Amino acid sequence: MERLATARCDHCGYVEEKLVIGGCTAAGFSGERWPCLCFSCRRIVSALINRKTLACSCGSTEIEPYGSISRESSSRQLFGFGDRAIEDVSYVCPRCGTIAMRFEPEAILSD
C-alpha cells in the first residue's frame, strides 16, 4: 500500500509534503519507498529502501531512513511497511536539527 505523508517541524516551520511511503504491486512498481533524511541537501526524501545503496534525488548516498525497525512501543504507529514503522513521536528536523518534527498521514494512493 502506498500512502502520502507530510513532515512538519514545530520548532522552525520546515514542511515537506507529499512524501510517498510504502509500495504497491501495480505494473511499473519500482520498490518500497520510505522517508529518509538526506544529509547533503538537508531535506526529507522518499527513497527506495529495498536497494543495496540508498540514494537521494540530489544524487547523494548520505541518507538515513526515518523511523525504526518495528518493535513493541507505547507510541501509536502512523505508518508501517515491512519491518519498518513511523510512530507518533518527534523526529530530528533536517533543517534545524531539533527533535521537533512529526509525520502526518495525508492520503492512501493505492492498495
How distant, in Å, are the alpha carbons of 8, 20, 28 from that of 17?
8, 9, 23
pLDDT at 14 > cutoff 90: yes
- What confidence category does residue 106 fall into, taking pLDDT thresholds of 50, 70 and 90? confident
Residue type, 56: C
Q: Which residues contact 74 (CB under 8 A, 6 or more apart)?
A: none
Count of C-beta atoms within a 10 Å radius of residue 97? 12
Query: What's the pTM value of the predicted model, to 2 decimals?
Result: 0.82
Cα–Cα dist 104/54, whole Å: 23
Q: Which residues contact 76 (CB under 8 A, 6 or more apart)?
A: 87, 88
Residue type, 89: V
Q: Which residues contact 82 (CB under 8 A, 6 or more apart)?
A: 32
Q: Using one digit for the tens of pLDDT, what is the confidence trace for 26-83?
A: 545 567 889 999 999 999 999 988 888 999 989 999 999 998 655 556 678 888 777 7
